[in-house]
Amino acid sequence: MYLPRLVLLPLALTAILPTSTEAANSRITEVKVFPGMAEVTRVAHLAAGKDEIVFACLPAALDAQSIQISGDVPMEVGEITLRTEPRALYPQCLAGAADDRIHELEDQQATLLAELNALGLVADMLKNTRANSGAISATAMQIQRTGQDIMLRQHDIKRKQEAIEQALRPLLAERERQQGGAGAMVTLVRAAVSASSRAEVTLRYRVVGPGWTPAYRASLDSRSGEVQIERRALVAQATGEDWKGVRLVLSTSQPRHVTRGRMPSSWQFSVYEPEPLTYASQAPAPAAPPAPTMERNAAPLFDVSVFQGDFDTEFHPSRVLDIPSNGQRVAMVLDTQTLQSRMVVRTSPVDEATAYLLAYVKPPDGNWPSGQLQLYRDGTFVGNSQWQHSSHSEDLALSFGPDENIRVRRNPDKDRRGVAGLGGGRIERRIERSFSVENRHRMPMMVEVLAAAPHSVNDQIRVENHYSPQPAQQNWQKQSGVVQWQQTLVAGERAEFSINSTVSWPKDLLVRDF
C-alpha cells in the first residue's frame, strides 16, 4: 500500500508597512533628567536644499514652550508648528523594542500551525485507507505506527504552541502599554529652516514625569575598618518614547522653581470708614475651570523633596544607557569611594539589651542628596537605612546591625520611696540602674554606652545623679539627661555602669515621670 509522505514547506510572510515620507529619521542622543522632568535632545539630518524638517513620534506631554531648534552649521529657523495626532496614523511610531522578537515568535506560530494542519490531512487520509484481504495485517500495523507518530507529533506541536503563547503574552502586553492603547497620541514638530548646506539639526524639548532618585550602598570590611560607599541612581520614565543608547545627565536642579522672590507691598494705617450699603446684584456665572494640562496629569515617578535644600549638581554616567518607557526603575553606579572608619559598638541597655556596630567616617566631599541606603557587613546584607548627609556635620555614623559578640546585660532596677525634709514635707525617691557590657571579640573594641538619667523641668522638683564611672559626655547630642560612656574593652573584658538618682518634691505636688 502507498502511504503519502508529509512534506513541510516554509511559509514566507511579507508585511509591507506604510512609511512617512515627511518625517525625519531622528534619534535621541542625550537626556538630562531633573527631579520630575527631563530635557530630551534629538538629532536629525537635513538634506541640502530642504527648507523644512519634521520630528515625529514625540511625547504628547512635551512642553511646547521649551522647544529649541539649532544646527551644526549656520541656520535660520522660522515658524515652528506642533500637531498632536493618534499614534496609529504613523506606523513608524508603533515600532517597539520587542517587535523583532514578536515577529519571530509569530512566524514560529505560523510554521507550527501549518505543520499541525498538514498532519491533520495525513491523519484523515489514513482513516480512509483500504487494503486487500491478503495484506490487511501488515497494512494495519503500518497504519498504527504512522498514526501513532502523527499523534505524538501533534501533541509535541501543541506543547510548543503553548510555550510560544506564554512567551508572546508579556511581549504583546508591553507593546500595547508602550503604544498607549487605541487612544494614544503623539506630537509632530514641523519647523521651517534655511541652511546653506547639509546640516545636522538638533531639537530639544522638556517633558514632565521622568525622574531619578539617589541611592547608596555602604559596605564595611570589619577587619580593616574600610567602608566602601557606592553612589547610585535610580532612573525611570513613562513618556511613550524609549531612551535607547543615550547619554544621561542627572541633575539635582529644580527647573520648575520660581525665578524671583516675592516683593513687599505697601502697609498702611488709616481711619476706618464703613462701606456704603449696596443692593446685591445677581452674581455672574462662575468661570469654567481651566482645561487640565498634561503637566498636571503627569505625576512624578519619584519623590522630588529629597533634592530640596541642596546646591545644584550634575552627574554624568560614563556609559550610554537604555531606559524603557514603562516606568521600570533602572539602577546605575555613579561613583565609588573608599573611606577609613572608626568602628564603635553602641548600646542603650535600658531600652534594648543589644549592641550595634557603627562605623564613623568623614563626610565625603560634594553633594549627596538624601536617599535609601543599603548596608553590607563583610559581604552580608544587613538592612536598609536612610542616607542623611550634611556638609556641615561632623563624622557620619553608619550602623551595620547587631554585634552578637558584645553581650549586654541590664540588672533589675532598685526603686525606693520615702519622706525627707523638716517635718517630712517632701517625698524622696531613690532609683538605681546598673548594667554591664562584655566584649567577646578576639580583639579590643570601643564600646559606647548610652543611658537617660532623670532631670527636672520644674523648680519644685530636685534631682541629683551620681554616675559610675563618670560619663564622657552629658546631655549627649543636646538631649537633656542623656549621658554617654566610652570605653575600650580588650578581648573578654567586662565593664559595669550605673546611675544612682535621688528625686524629691513637695508631698502635696503630683509628679509624673516620662
Chain segment 11-36, per-residue pLDDT in tens? 232 333 333 446 768 899 999 999 88
Which H/E stretch holds residue 466?
strand 462-468
**Distance (Å, whole) CA 232 – CA 372:** 10
The model's confidence at residue 51, banded by pLDDT at 50, 70 and 90, is: confident
pLDDT at residue 430 is higher than 50: yes
Residue 431 has which C-alpha cell? 532609683
**Distance (Å, whole) CA 432 – CA 347:** 19
Task: Give pLDDT, residue 375.
Answer: 96
Higher-confidence residue of 367 and 290: namely: 367
Higher-confidence residue of 272 and 290: namely: 272
**Distance (Å, whole) CA 105 – CA 167:** 8
Residue 111 has which C-alpha cell? 510554521
Which range has the top average pLDDT, 152-156, 252-256, 375-379?
375-379
The model's confidence at residue 258, banded by pLDDT at 50, 70 and 90, is: low
Task: Give pLDDT, residue 183.
Answer: 60
Task: Give pLDDT, residue 199.
Answer: 87
Chain centre distance of CA 328 = 9
Chain segment 323-332, per-residue pLDDT in tens? 988 888 999 9
Higher-confidence residue of 417 and 270: namely: 417
The model's confidence at residue 293, banded by pLDDT at 50, 70 and 90, is: very low
- Three-class secondary structure of residue 458 per DSSP: coil
* Cβ-contact 511, 429 below 8 angstroms: no
The residue type of 236 is A
* Strand arrangement, sheet containing 371-377: 330-340, 226-236, 211-221, 371-377, 380-387
pLDDT at residue 445 is higher than 90: yes
The model's confidence at residue 370, banded by pLDDT at 50, 70 and 90, is: confident
**Distance (Å, whole) CA 47 – CA 20:** 16
Quickly count: other Cβ atoms within 10 Å of residue 305's Cβ: 10
Show the beta-strand stretches assigned E in 62-163: 62-71, 75-86
Task: Give pLDDT, residue 87.
Answer: 75
Higher-confidence residue of 118 and 379: namely: 379
**Distance (Å, whole) CA 386 – CA 384:** 7
pLDDT at residue 47 is higher than 80: yes
Q: Which residues contact 75 (CB under 8 A, 6 or more apart)?
A: 193, 194, 195, 199, 201
Chain segment 168-177, per-residue pLDDT in tens? 888 777 766 6
Higher-confidence residue of 148 and 96: namely: 148
Closest CA to 29 of 333, 334, 320, 316: 320
**What DSSP state is assigned to residue 104?**
H
| Mean pLDDT, residues 73-94 | 82
Among 60-74, 94-108, 293-307, the range scoring the smallest mean pLDDT is: 293-307
Chain segment 192-233, per-residue pLDDT in tens? 988 888 889 999 999 999 999 999 999 999 999 999 999 999
Q: Which residues contact 66 (CB under 8 A, 6 or more apart)?
A: 39, 204, 205, 206
| Domain assignments of the chain as residue spans, ordered by start | 12-29+46-132+140-207, 211-254+298-402, 406-506
Chain segment 97-120, per-residue pLDDT in tens? 566 787 788 888 898 888 888 888
Show the beta-strand stretches assigned E in 252-341: 314-315, 321-323, 330-340
Higher-confidence residue of 503 and 19: namely: 503
What is the reported pTM? 0.67
Closest CA to 411 of 387, 386, 432: 432
**Distance (Å, whole) CA 131 – CA 138:** 9
DSSP 208-235: ES-EEEEEEEEEEETTTTEEEEEEEEEE
Closest CA to 212 of 298, 311, 323, 363: 323
Higher-confidence residue of 424 and 289: namely: 424
Tell me the β-bridge partners of 238: none
The residue type of 23 is A
Tell me how far apart the terminal alpha carbons of the chain are, to the nearest angstrom. 102
**Phi and psi for 92 in degrees, rounded to 5?**
-65, -20
Task: Give pLDDT, residue 303.
Answer: 60
For the chain, what is the mean pLDDT?
Answer: 82
